[in-house]
């Protein structure tokens, strides 16, 4: 990314913080009430205090462990079940209908189920995180697998490839771009649900801490919690995004996209030098010297 | 380099083991929607049979059936006298549409049938590079399919099909989407590449001149007749009265008016 774009993005965040600071510092009450809001500086001071303590890091570790476990389970099972449902009529009949009925239930509404099912809170929270991320991954995988170009599979089968070869060499790599869409959405809802579940029934964890701070009216603490959640969500979704782009780097990109992501050589006046055509191509027929316009033509299909 | 590697890199692989493919009173098509009924076809080992017919007459269905991708609705299909059950590596299919895996480099695409056959990494790389060289794509081996031209993709498909040393190659209008100049080059390339492989080839096309240039025999799918093509294989042979008569006959079978 160019320096100008990094500056622009940083500026956008700083601008938002400045608006918050001004609204809170001058206790603006104009229908929306900012009079009780902690300012950015108060929140930052509190953030600093917490970073120095052990409790903050313990909470962070708890939440990250929960989301990593739940999300990893959801990713693996979501891809597996989504692929099975898309590829096998039997799986579609047996697994499809029950899942379609459970799917509309918000994961956080499964808290009572989790309490009944699991011996401890910990497993329950992981279960809810899993349930939240599972369905987006499942649905994205199912669609991606169904949308695969049939001729890819036919090609591998006529090479003598069996079911597993088709699965590993065609279905999974071909569905990856779609699967990563589901993983991004799944990670987002997984964060929502892990924090909510912690607020309801957690011991430790960022969500638990944020709710505790609210009950003891520690507003800067609440804002530290929210900032933590926001930063964690942003960092993890960026990681999934970067991984996804790397895994699907074979996808054709538009020329515009390539120009944006690759650093192009710049000359004074911010313009890349125009590429010169060879002289012979500029003046067809003139001074061909054995490398006339024909040399510029594609030589496809001219075996040597 | 071992002696096997040298054999693999040799320009000619004289195996002489083309499949004989026989259809007897065959009904082809999708269940409930037969396209061809009562088809008899006998493809001799090592011959290049071109198949022409009007659009929608079932040319692609025929090839997919021979490949084992479509089950017969009736009749019999045998290879060397034995039944054909499903697709197998000894019958390679070259598709009209772009059937390269877009996430694999050209080299990795050509290596795929070799990996399926269980060749070690070094051996399949050597053989893939050899075939890419034969179709003139050495410089593009590391590129992805979308980074090369349509003609180069079809050349890669050809290399991929032949690298697995199939005993039959089934080609479904492989050059149909290419411009005339590229197509002529591809036809010459195909003849060169097939030389010495011994493979039986069934080549479907809607281009009569392509069918006459490439084929040992021409099957007219609309009429069910199979006609021998006079040799030598040469474009100048169109001046030959026997070839001209055959060309008129093929065109007539397509329902076209012969050229004046």
Question: Which of A152, A158, A161 has its CB closest to that of B67?
Answer: A158
Residue B131 maps to a domain = no
Q: Domains in chain A: how many in total?
A: 2
Q: Are residues A90 and A199 in the same domain?
A: yes
Residue A203 maps to a domain = yes
To 10 degrees, what angle do helices A219-247 and A172-201 make? 170
Residue A94 maps to a domain = yes
Residue B129 maps to a domain = no
User: Could you tell me if A166 and B86 are in contact, meaning their C-beta atoms sit under 8 angstroms apart?
Assistant: no
Percent composition of chain B: helix, strand, coil (DSSP 3-state, to 5): 40, 20, 40
Helices (H), chain B: 3-9, 59-67, 106-116, 121-134, 150-163, 180-194, 208-214, 241-253
Residue B248 maps to a domain = yes
Q: Are residues A12 and A63 in the same domain?
A: no
Q: Are residues A232 and A138 in the same domain?
A: yes
pLDDT in tens, A230-266: 999 999 989 999 999 888 888 887 666 666 655 444 4
Residue B132 maps to a domain = no
User: Chain B residues within 8 A (CB-CB) of chain A?
Assistant: 64, 67-69, 86-93, 95, 97-104, 112-113, 116-117, 134-136, 144, 146, 149, 151-152, 155, 164, 178, 181-186, 188-189, 192
Residue A101 maps to a domain = yes
Q: Are residues A27 and A119 in the same domain?
A: no
pLDDT in tens, B138-194: 888 889 998 888 888 888 998 898 888 888 899 988 887 777 777 888 888 888 888
Residue A287 maps to a domain = no
Question: Which of B88, B99, B146 has its CB closest to that of A252?
Answer: B146
Percent composition of chain A: helix, strand, coil (DSSP 3-state, to 5): 75, 0, 25
Structural domain for B34, as ranges: 3-101+165-253
Give the pair of three-digit tokens for residue B156. Answer: 């890669």
CATH code for position A161:
1.10.3720.10
Q: Are residues A139 and A238 in the same domain?
A: yes
Tens-digit pLDDT string for chain A (304 aa)? 788 999 999 999 999 999 999 988 888 888 888 888 888 888 898 888 888 888 889 888 989 999 999 999 999 999 999 999 999 899 888 988 888 888 888 888 888 888 888 888 888 889 999 999 999 999 999 999 999 988 999 999 988 888 899 999 999 999 999 999 999 999 999 999 888 888 887 688 888 888 888 888 888 888 888 989 999 999 998 999 999 988 888 888 766 666 665 544 444 444 444 555 444 444 343 333 433 333 333 333 434 3
Residue A282 maps to a domain = no
> Rounded to an integer, what distance in angstroms lies between the CA atom of residue A106 and that of residue A89?
27
> Rounded to an integer, what distance in angstroms lies between the CA atom of residue A63 and that of residue A85?
32
**Set of chain B residues whose Cβ sits within 8 Å of the Cβ of A158:** 67-69, 87-89, 91-93
- Facing residues of B200 across strands? B168
Q: Are residues A85 and A221 in the same domain?
A: yes
Q: Are residues A14 and A56 in the same domain?
A: no
Q: Residues B157, B158, B164, B169: is their CA dihedral positive or negative?
A: positive
Q: Are residues A123 and A239 in the same domain?
A: yes
> Rounded to an integer, what distance in angstroms lies between the CA atom of residue A272 and that of residue A263?
11
Residue from B151, B163, B216 nearest B189 by CA = B151
User: Could you tell me if B92 and B159 are in contact, meaning their C-beta atoms sit under 8 angstroms apart?
Assistant: no
Q: Are residues A24 and A80 in the same domain?
A: no
Q: Domains in chain B: how many in total?
A: 1
Q: Are residues A56 and A26 in the same domain?
A: no
How many CB atoms lie under 10 A from the CB of residue A194?
33
Taking the Cβ of residue A215 and every Cβ of chain B, the question of whether any pair is shorter than 8 Å is answered with no
Structural domain for A85, as ranges: 38-252
> Rounded to an integer, what distance in angstroms lies between the CA atom of residue B40 and that of residue B219?
11
Residue A29 maps to a domain = yes
Give the pair of three-digit tokens for residue B152. Answer: 């180069």
Taking the Cβ of residue A294 and every Cβ of chain B, the question of whether any pair is shorter than 8 Å is answered with no
Residue B110 maps to a domain = no
Number of H helices, E strands in chain A: 14, 2
CATH code for position B184:
3.40.50.300
Q: Are residues A30 and A44 in the same domain?
A: no
* Domain end call among A252, A273, A296: A252
């Amino acid at each position: 990314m160019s320096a100008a774009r990094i500056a622009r993005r940083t500026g956008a965040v700083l601008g938002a913080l400045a608006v918050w600071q001004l609204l809170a510092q001058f206790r603006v009450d104009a229908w929306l009430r900012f009079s009780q809001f902690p300012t950015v500086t108060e929140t930052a001071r509190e953030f600093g205090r917490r970073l120095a303590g052990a409790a903050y890091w313990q909470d962070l570790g708890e939440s990250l462990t929960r989301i990593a476990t739940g999300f990893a389970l959801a990713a693996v099972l979501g891809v597996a079940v989504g692929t099975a449902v898309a590829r096998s009529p039997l799986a579609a009949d047996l697994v499809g209908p029950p899942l379609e009925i459970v799917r509309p239930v918000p994961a956080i509404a499964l808290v009572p189920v989790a309490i009944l099912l699991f011996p401890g809170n910990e497993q329950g929270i992981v279960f809810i995180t899993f349930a939240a991320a599972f369905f987006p991954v499942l649905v994205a995988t199912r669609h991606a697998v169904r949308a695969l170009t049939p001729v890819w599979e036919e090609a591998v089968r006529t090479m003598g490839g069996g079911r597993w070869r088709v699965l590993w060499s065609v279905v999974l790599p071909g569905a990856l771009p779609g699967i990563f869409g589901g993983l991004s959405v799944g990670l987002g809802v997984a964060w929502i649900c892990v924090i909510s579940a912690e607020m309801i029934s957690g011991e430790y964890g960022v969500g638990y801490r944020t709710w505790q701070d609210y009950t003891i009216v520690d507003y800067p603490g609440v804002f530290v919690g929210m900032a933590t959640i926001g930063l964690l969500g942003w960092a993890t979704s960026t990681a999934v995004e970067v991984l996804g782009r790397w895994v699907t780097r074979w996808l054709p990109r538009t020329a515009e996209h390539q120009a944006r992501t690759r650093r192009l050589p710049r000359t004074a006046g911010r313009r890349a030098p125009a590429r010169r055509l060879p002289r012979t191509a500029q003046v067809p027929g003139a001074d061909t010297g054995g490398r006339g316009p024909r040399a510029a033509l594609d030589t496809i299909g001219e075996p040597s | 380099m071992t002696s096997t590697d040298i054999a693999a890199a040799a320009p000619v692989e004289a195996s002489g083991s083309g499949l004989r493919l026989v259809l007897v009173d065959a009904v082809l098509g999708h269940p409930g929607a037969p396209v061809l009924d009562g088809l008899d076809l006998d493809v001799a080992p090592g011959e290049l049979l071109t198949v022409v017919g009007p659009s929608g007459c079932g040319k692609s269905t025929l090839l997919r059936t021979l490949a084992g991708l479509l089950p017969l609705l009736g009749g019999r299909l045998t290879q060397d006298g034995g039944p054909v059950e499903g697709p197998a590596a000894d019958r390679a299919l070259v598709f009209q549409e772009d059937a390269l895996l877009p996430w694999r480099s050209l080299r990795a695409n050509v290596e795929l049938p070799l990996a399926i056959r269980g060749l070690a990494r070094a051996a399949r790389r050597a053989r893939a590079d050899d075939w890419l060289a034969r179709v003139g794509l050495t410089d593009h081996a590391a590129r992805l399919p979308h980074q090369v031209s349509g003609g180069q993709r079809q050349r890669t498909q050809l290399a991929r099909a032949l690298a697995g040393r199939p005993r039959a190659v089934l080609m479904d209008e492989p050059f149909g989407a290419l411009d005339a100049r590229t197509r002529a080059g591809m036809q010459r390339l195909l003849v060169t590449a097939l030389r010495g492989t011994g493979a039986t080839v069934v080549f479907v096309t809607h281009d009569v001149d392509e069918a006459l240039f490439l084929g040992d025999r021409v099957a007219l799918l609309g009429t069910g007749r199979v006609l021998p093509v006079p040799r030598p294989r040469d474009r100048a042979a169109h001046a030959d009265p026997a070839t001209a008569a055959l060309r008129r006959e093929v065109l007539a079978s397509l329902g076209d008016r012969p050229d004046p």
